[in-house]
Amino acid sequence: MRNFFTARQSRQWDEYVQKVLGIPALLLMENAGRAVAETVINHFSPKCVAVFCGKGNNGADGFVAARHLITAGIKTDVFIAAAKKQILKEAGKNLRILQKITKNIWRINEKNLYNIDSKKYQCIIDGLLGTGLNSAVKGLYAEVIRWINTANKPVVSIDIPSGLDATSGKVWGVCVQADLTVTFVLPKKGMLSKSGKSLCGKIVVADLGVPL
């Protein structure tokens, strides 16, 4: 029985589910984001949450998680490490839905990042980078990761801590130090390495409504 995915296997599974089973990416993201929100609520019972999102599918999961947190009555601030015009396809669709629900969405840069007051949050969600990362984290993303790691708040990473190689467990320059990681279907191989285990914190495996 398989007990982990490499980055390539995770991508292949995703393609199989969409192309062969016919389950759309939006539905997978909906299930993923809901699982993250439910885990955050169950573990931390927060009144106020910060969600940091990148421009890709990991960020899309973050947008969905934010919507479910808002639905549950939790004040949720969403910070995007990209221009909104860069957020395309399913991620863009989830962002546009979220924009109709809340105005608490901000684009961040290296300057205004440090104006964010971490004291008001009981939890921070990391939805910056996913399992497809294969190069050093630089620029704004690196700065956001450093901010998260010094915020002194519980951190929940979506699928994998941003900056961790999903296959090898290598750190691509800088990596989120998560207290809890909600990963999907199976843990990723890199999460089970020595460095991966120390960066993931508690690992919660959530299903996406598809049998392995």
Other C-beta atoms within 10 Å of 110: how many?
12
CA atoms of 18 and 28, how far apart (whole Å): 9
Q: 3-state class of 92 per DSSP?
A: helix
In words, the CATH class of domain 7-206 is: alpha beta
Amino acid at 10: S
Name the residue with tokens 């995703």: 14
CA atoms of 111 and 183, how far apart (whole Å): 31
Cα angle value 30/36/42 (rounded, 5°)? 130
pLDDT at 1: 52
> What are 164's strand-pairing partners?
171
Annotated domain spans of the chain: 7-206
- The distance between the two most distant Cα atoms of the chain, rounded to a whole number of Å, is 48
CA atoms of 73 and 196, how far apart (whole Å): 33
Q: Supply 93's token pair.
A: 């669709």
pLDDT at 119: 96
Of 179, 171, 102, 170, which Cα lies nearest the Cα of 148?
179
pLDDT at 91: 95
pLDDT tens readout for residues 67-92: 999 999 999 999 999 988 899 999 99
Q: Collect the ranges in the chain with pLDDT lower than 50.
A: none
CA atoms of 181 and 58, how far apart (whole Å): 13
Cα angle value 117/101/149 (rounded, 5°)? 30
pLDDT tens readout for residues 145-159: 999 999 999 999 999
Q: Supply 95's token pair.
A: 């962002």
CA atoms of 89 and 84, how far apart (whole Å): 12
178 phi/psi in degrees, rounded to 5: -90, 150
What value does the mean pLDDT of the chain take?
96
